[in-house]
Chains A and B, each alone.
Chain A
C-alpha cells in the first residue's frame, strides 16, 4: 500500500523532505520500508522494536496507540503523521 507520510522538521533531516511516500501493509512495515530508504529513520523514533514514548504516529487523525499500534493496517491513500513531542517555547 502506498501512503503519504508527513514528518516534522526534525525528522526532515533524515528524510530530506517533510512529505514522503512509503509502502507497507501495516504501520510497522511502512516504518521498515522508510528505514531502508532513509537510514537512521527508525532510530529517531523507535527503540528495541517499539515506538519511543515521546513519539506519536497518527493514521489520518487517529493515534495508532488507540488502533492496532504498529500492526495497524494501511490502505492506499492513507496519510500517516509522525510527531515527536516538542519542548521549545522560547
Chain B
C-alpha cells in the first residue's frame, strides 16, 4: 500500500493541509467529493450538513476540510495520533476500516461521512438497565454500520440509537398488526421485545402476517416471531409469553416493559390491556383494523385511555372480527408501521405523537383523516364517573364485560372456529361458482 498518499501525519497527529496542493500538482488526482458533517461539528461549517472537499483518498479529503475549516481536525479527531475509536469514517456508507483506512481512494461524486459513535461509553454502573435491557456503552463498529441511517439523522444520532437499544416494548399479538410492528422494531434495534400470543401459525395467517412463513405452520406464533426477529437482528432480546393475556397475568407481563403496542384481535384483550396500562402508567400505542379501515392512536399515562374513546364494547356479534369479515393484508402493514413509528418517536422524544388524535385510515378511499379525542372526565377508569360505584379500581373479568365477544372462552373459541370454517367454505364456494 502506498502510504505516501496519507496526509494524516501519524507521528504528529496532524493533517498537513499544504501537502495536498503539492500532490495535486504532481498527479492531478484531485476529486471533488461530498463530506457529511455530523450535527455536533456543524458549528464549524456554518451549519452545513455537507461540504465539498478534494483529495484522492480519505486522508487528503479530510486534510482539505481542515484547510477550509481550520479546527475541524482538532474538534473531530482530538489530539491523538490515530483516528479515535469512537469516530467512524465511511466512504459511500462503507466503513473505511474494512477498506484501506485513510488511504482509501475516493472518486468524483463519492460521499465521505465522519460519524462519531458514542461520546464516552460508560464502563461504570450495572450492565443491565432497570427495564432488563443491556446497558449500551459505545456502539460497536458493526452497530454503527447497521444503524447508520438512523445515526446520521439529527433527530436520532448516536444517543437516540442508544435510547432505542435500551428500550423494551411489549407487542400484544403476533398477527396482522404485531408482524410489521415486530419487524420494524427489530430492525430498529429495540433492546427487548416481548411477544404475547398463545396461538399457532395457521395457513390462513400467511395472507398478511409477515412474521410467519410457510414452514412455520403449526408452530407457536410467539416462537415463530422470535425466530424471525432474531433472523433480522440477533441483537434483540425476544421474550415470548405463550399465554392468553388475562386479568391474572396482565400486570405481571406488562409491568416488565417500557411501552405497550396493541395488536390484539378481540375487545376483551383491548380493554384488559388498556386497563393494565392505566394502572401501570405505561404508554399504549393502539391500532385496530377491519376490512379496509384502520384506526390508530396513542394513550399516554394519565392523559386519557381507550375507555374515554369507547366506554364499553359492542354486544357480541355487532362488530365482526377479521376472521368473520376479512381484512386486506396490506392494510396491516400500513397501520402496524404507523404504530411502530409512534413508539420510536416516543422513545426518541421527537415530533408530535398521535396522543389526543385518532388517525383514521380508509384504504378504499386511500384517505387519512384524524379526529380529536379527549380524556373523558367521567371515564369509569381514568376519570370520576357520575356514579362513583362504576369506578374501575382493578382488573375485571373481561370476557364477562365483553359478553364473551371474541373472548377466549371455549364457547367463543368454538364460535371463532366456526366463523373461520364458514369463511373457508364461502371462499371455496366462490371459487367453484
Contacts and interface: CB of A to CB of B under 8 A. Distances in A.
B310 A90 contact: no
Contact of A18 (B177, B267, B313, B365): B365
B173 A88 contact: no
A68 interface: no
B344 interface: no
Given A9-B290, A88-B321, A61 B372 contact: yes
B372 A86 contact: no
Given A10-B320, A18-B362, A90-B263, A85 B177 contact: no
Interface in A54-90: 54, 56, 58, 61-63, 65-66, 81, 83-90
Contacts, number: 118
Contacts of B362: 6, 8, 18
B178 A86 contact: no
Contact of A54 (B289, B310, B370, B373): B310
A4 B225 CA distance: 43
A87 B293 contact: no
A58 B372 CA distance: 9
B277 to A, nearest CB: 15
A88 B289 contact: yes
A83 B373 CA distance: 12
B423 interface: no
A65 to B, nearest CB: 8
A83 B371 contact: yes
B369 A81 contact: yes
A37 interface: no
B309 interface: yes
A89 B314 contact: no
A63 B372 contact: yes
Given A81-B371, A89-B287, A18 B265 contact: no
Contacts of A88: 176, 265, 288-290, 321-322, 327
A89 B178 contact: yes
Candidate in A19, A84, A88 with the most chain B CB atoms within 10 angstroms: A88
A88 B290 CA distance: 6
Contact of B310 (A8, A19, A53): A53
A87 B371 contact: no
B157 interface: no
Interface residues of B, number: 51
Contacts of B289: 86, 88-89
Interface residues of A, number: 26
Interface string B362-376: 101100011111101
A90 B201 CA distance: 11
A61 B374 CA distance: 12
B323 to A, nearest CB: 8
A89 B177 contact: yes
A41 B293 CA distance: 19
A85 B3 CA distance: 68
A89 B319 contact: no
Nearest to A9: B291
A85 B372 contact: no
A85 B178 CA distance: 19
A58 B295 CA distance: 14
17 contacts: A9-B293, A18-B364, A53-B310, A54-B319, A58-B371, A63-B371, A63-B373, A83-B360, A86-B295, A87-B264, A87-B267, A87-B288, A88-B288, A89-B264, A89-B289, A90-B209, A90-B263
Interface of B: 172-173, 175-178, 205, 209, 262-267, 270, 287-295, 309-314, 318-323, 325, 327, 358, 360, 362, 364-365, 369-374, 376, 406
Across chains A and B, which 7 residue pairs bring their CB atoms closest together, nearest first? A90-B175, A90-B265, A9-B291, A86-B288, A88-B322, A85-B310, A89-B263
Given A56-B371, A88-B290, 17 more contacts: A10-B290, A19-B365, A63-B373, A81-B360, A81-B369, A85-B288, A86-B293, A86-B294, A87-B319, A88-B265, A89-B173, A89-B177, A90-B176, A90-B177, A90-B205, A90-B209, A90-B265
